[in-house]
Amino acid sequence: MAGTLILVRHGQSEWNLKNLFTGWKNPGLTEKGIAEARAAGRKLKAAGIVPTVFFTSALVRAQHSLDLILEELGIVNLTITRDQALNERDYGDLSGLDKDDARKKWGEEQVLIWRRSYDVPPPGGESLKDTAARTLPYYEKHILPAVEAGETVLVAAHGNSLRSIVMAIEQLTPEQILKRELATGEPVIYRISKSGELKEKVAI
């Protein structure tokens, strides 16, 4: 029997709204972000998809999003695994800076390279390749085995940590994953076989 993997990027955070580099910083959700997370829970409920295993990052915006999704699903008394392996990409010296101010300081071309290259990290931070180097081993050791066992696994995390997982599941190249944006609060759902192969991507 195939298992199901649900990936949800957290709802809009206060720093998303302010156009700031966030990374490992810990702002909360905006009212819009709260509504997005609740909407994700309602979509899953309407589709009859009931998660049984739960993972999130060590950051508040992802944890709060997961709590809101579960509230909409009416799921209580559960065990949630939280781990910083699922944290957002660390933006290093860019963290907390307005994106426009960063462009003024380092130049638009350099900031674009840091944001959109696969393996060039910002000063003191991580590239998407670095993020994948911590996220994928955790996924393969802790998350994928539960999916392969037939569970319905919900992972509430971040744009770049989830893109690392999407890259592995869909077997995308670095160039392809750089073009893939994950919208806040939008579930991405996969059916995965007992041998770990993608069977289908589910639209709800």
- Choose the catalytic residue: 36, 88, 126, 148: 88
Q: Is 160 annotated as a binding residue?
A: yes
Q: Is 158 a catalytic residue?
A: no
Q: Is 163 annotated as a binding residue?
A: no
Burial class (CB in 10 A: 0-12, 13-18, 19+), 154: buried
Q: Is 9 annotated as a binding residue?
A: yes
- Choose the catalytic residue: 10, 64, 126, 148: 10
Q: Is 91 annotated as a binding residue?
A: yes
Q: Is 190 annotated as a binding residue?
A: no
Q: Is 38 annotated as a binding residue?
A: no
Q: Is 197 annotated as a binding residue?
A: no
Residue 90 in contact with residue 22, Cβ under 8 Å?
Answer: no
**Separation between Cα atoms, residue 176 and residue 154, nearest integer Å:** 24
Select from 164, 160, 155 the least CA-distant residue to 189. 155
Q: Is 64 a catalytic residue?
A: no
Query: Phi, psi at residue 148, to the nearest 5°?
Result: -65, -25
Binding-site residues from annotation: 9-16, 22-23, 61, 88-91, 99, 115-116, 159-160
Active-site residue set:
10, 88
User: Could you tell me which residues are annotated as the binding site for substrate?
Assistant: 9-16, 22-23, 61, 88-91, 99, 115-116, 159-160
